[in-house]
C-alpha cells in the first residue's frame, strides 16, 4: 500500500520529475542545500532542549548554543550547497544561532505546556479503504494545563506566511487528522508554527468541514500521482536548490557547459547554435520593426495620393483599405451578452464551433468520466509539435 508524506506531496506539486527521481527512482545525492542543513541543525537542537526537559534537565542558553555549534561542526560536509553567491557558511550558522537564542528567550523555562513527545510519528489511512496511507513526524506534541493538545512545527524559512496561508496549510492539517485518529478522545487541538527567523508564533485549527475537504483534496492529489506516467519537469525559481540538475532536461545543458574550460565553451555545439539563433532573432526583430514602419508609410502614401497600387523599380505594392465587422473576442467585454442573444434566438448551432483547445485541456486534466473520454479520444491523434523559444538568462544561471 503506497505511503505518502507531506514532503512527497509537495515535491510532486513543485516538480513531478523531481518527485520521480527522489521517491520512485530513489536516487540518493550527497548534496543538500545549506537551508535544509540549517533547518536540521536547529530542529535537532530544539529537540534536545525538550527531550532533556522530559528528563527534568533544563539546559541554559549557553549549553543549548554549544550543542547547536557542535551539531553544526560535526555534521557539516562538502555536499552542503550554498546557492546564493552573496551568502557564506558563517552567515547561515549565525542565523541558526540567532534562531535558538530568540526561541530560548521567548519560551524559557518552557513550562507553559507539557511535552508529550518530539519527532512523534504519525501514520494513518487517507481514505476509508486504506488504499493510501499518510505518514509524518510532528516536531513536538504538547498538552496545556487545560487539556489542549498543541502540534508544534519549527520553520527556519525566510518567508513569513499570512494567516490565510497557514489556515489552509496541508502539512499540519494532516498532522491534526493523524493525532485525532491515534487518540480519538483528544478534543481540542491547536496547530502552532514557530517562524524562528521572525520570532513569530502563528496559530490555527481546523473545522470538521475543513478536515473533510483536506482529506478529499489529498486523496485526489494521491490519485493523480498514482496515475501519472510522464512526470514532466516543472521549472521554477526553486530549480536552483534541486539536487538533480544533471538528470533534468531543463538544466542538464547548464551542468554540461559549466564543466567546460572557458576556451571550449563557445565551441560547444549547443552554445554555438543558441548564440547564432539569438543573433538571427535580433536581426529579424529589427527587420520586423522596419517593415512595420514602411508598411505604415505605404498606407499613408496611398491615402494621401488616392492610389491603390504603388509602383517600385521591379515590384509593386497593392494597398487595400476596407472596413470589416468585428465582434468581441472570447474574454472581451460584451461577449457574454452577445452569446446570450444568439442562444436565445436559437441560432447558436449555426455560428458555434467546437473549441478543440479547450477540449484538449479537458482531456489532459481528466475532468470528464472515463467512458466519455474514451469516446472522444477515438477522434484524437498524437502529433509531434516542436517549439523553440529564446529568452534571457537570469543572473543565477
Ligand atoms: S531542476 Fe527544476 S525542473 Fe528539473 S527536476 Fe529539478 S526542480 Fe524539476
User: Residue 106's Cα: distance from chain center in Å?
Assistant: 33
What's the CA-to-centroid distance between 254 and ligand 1, angstroms? 12
Confidence at residue 125, expressed as pLDDT on a 0 to 100 scale: 86
Confidence at residue 200, expressed as pLDDT on a 0 to 100 scale: 95
pTM: 0.80
pLDDT in tens, 34-74: 999 999 999 999 999 999 988 778 889 999 999 999 999 99
Cross-strand partners of 316: 311
Work out which ligand 1 atom sits closest to the CA atom of 236: 2
What's the CA-to-centroid distance between 180 and ligand 1, angstroms? 36
Q: Give the residue-averaged pLDDT of 370-394.
A: 88
Which one is predicted more confidently, 119 or 393? 119
31, 232, 239: which to mutate for ligand 1, most atoms within 8 A of CB?
A: 239
Q: Give the residue-averaged pLDDT of 70-99.
A: 93
Would you place residue 368 in the very low, low, confident or very high pLDDT band (cuts 50, 70, 90)?
A: confident
pLDDT in tens, 245-296: 999 999 999 999 988 888 888 888 899 999 999 999 999 999 999 999 999 9
Rg of the chain on CA atoms, in Å: 30
Q: Is 15 in the pocket of ligand 1 (CB under 6 A)?
A: yes
What's the CA-to-centroid distance between 9 and ligand 1, angstroms? 15
Q: Is 100 in the pocket of ligand 1 (CB under 6 A)?
A: no
Contact between 328 and 338 under an 8 Å Cβ cutoff? The reply is yes
Q: Give the residue-averaged pLDDT of 328-347.
A: 93
Q: How many CA atoms lie within 13 A of 66 on its CB side?
A: 4
pLDDT in tens, 225-252: 998 988 999 999 899 889 999 999 999 9
Residue 127 pLDDT greater than 70, yes or no: yes
Would you place residue 395 in the very low, low, confident or very high pLDDT band (cuts 50, 70, 90)?
A: low
What's the CA-to-centroid distance between 166 and ligand 1, angstroms? 26
Contact between 123 and 175 under an 8 Å Cβ cutoff? The reply is no
Average pLDDT, the chain: 92
What is the residue extent of each domain of the chain?
3-239, 279-346
What's the CA-to-centroid distance between 13 and ligand 1, angstroms? 12
Determine the CATH number of domain 3-239: 3.90.320.10
Would you place residue 177 in the very low, low, confident or very high pLDDT band (cuts 50, 70, 90)?
A: very high
Residue 201, C-beta contacts closer than 8 angstroms, at least 6 positions apart? 192, 193, 194, 195
- What does the block give as the cell for 205? 485549527
pLDDT in tens, 139-174: 999 999 998 999 999 999 999 999 999 999 999 999
Amino acid at each position: 500500500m503506497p505511503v505518502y508524506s507531506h514532503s512527497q506531496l509537495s515535491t510532486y506539486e513543485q516538480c513531478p520529475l523531481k518527485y520521480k527521481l527522489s521517491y520512485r527512482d530513489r536516487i540518493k545525492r550527497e548534496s543538500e542545500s545549506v537551508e535544509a542543513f540549517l533547518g536540521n541543525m536547529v530542529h535537532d537542537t530544539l529537540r534536545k532542549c525538550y527531550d532533556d526537559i522530559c528528563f527534568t534537565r533544563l539546559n541554559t542558553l549557553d549549553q543549548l548554543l554549544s550543542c547547536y555549534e557542535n551539531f553544526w561542526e560535526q555534521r557539516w560536509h562538502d555536499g552542503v550547497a550554498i546557492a546564493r553567491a552573496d551568502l557564506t557558511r558563517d552567515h547561515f550558522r549565525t542565523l541558526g544561532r540567532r534562531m535558538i537564542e530568540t526561541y530560548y528567550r521567548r519560551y524559557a523555562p518552557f513550562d507553559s505546556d507539557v511535552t508529550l513527545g518530539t519527532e512523534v510519528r504519525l501514520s494513518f489511512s487517507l481514505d476509508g479503504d486504506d488504499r493510501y496511507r499518510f505518514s509524518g513526524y510532528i516536531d513536538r506534541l504538547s498538552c496545556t494545563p487545560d487539556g489542549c493538545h498543541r502540534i508544534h512545527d519549527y520553520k527556519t524559512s525566510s518567508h513569513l506566511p499570512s494567516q490565510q496561508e497557514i489556515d489552509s496549510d496541508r502539512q499540519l492539517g494532516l498532522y491534526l487528522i493523524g493525532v485525532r485518529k491515534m487518540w480519538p478522545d483528544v478534543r481540542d487541538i491547536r496547530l502552532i508554527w514557530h517562524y524562528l527567523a521572525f520570532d513569530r508564533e502563528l496559530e490555527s485549527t481546523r473545522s470538521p468541514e475543513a478536515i473533510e475537504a483536506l482529506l478529499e483534496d489529498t486523496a485526489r492529489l494521491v490519485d493523480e500521482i498514482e496515475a501519472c506516467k510522464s512526470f514532466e519537469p516543472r521549472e521554477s525559481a526553486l530549480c536552483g536548490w534541486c539536487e538533480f540538475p544533471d538528470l533534468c532536461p531543463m538544466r542538464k545543458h547548464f551542468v554540461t557547459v559549466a564543466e567546460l574550460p572557458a576556451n571550449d565553451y563557445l565551441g560547444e555545439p549547443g552554445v554555438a547554435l543558441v548564440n547564432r539563433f539569438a543573433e538571427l532573432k535580433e536581426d529579424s526583430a529589427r527587420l520586423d520593426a522596419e517593415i512595420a514602419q514602411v508598411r505604415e508609410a505605404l498606407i499613408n502614401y496611398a491615402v494621401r495620393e488616392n492610389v491603390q497600387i504603388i509602383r517600385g523599380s521591379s515590384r509593386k505594392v497593392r494597398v487595400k483599405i476596407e472596413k470589416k465587422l468585428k465582434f468581441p473576442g472570447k474574454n472581451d467585454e460584451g461577449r457574454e451578452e452577445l452569446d446570450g442573444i444568439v442562444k436565445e434566438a436559437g441560432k447558436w448551432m449555426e455560428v458555434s464551433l467546437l473549441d478543440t483547445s479547450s477540449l484538449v485541456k479537458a482531456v489532459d486534466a481528466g475532468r470528464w468520466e472515463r467512458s466519455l473520454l474514451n469516446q472522444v479520444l477515438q477522434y484524437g491523434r498524437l502529433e509531434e509539435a516542436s517549439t523553440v523559444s529564446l529568452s534571457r538568462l537570469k543572473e543565477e544561471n
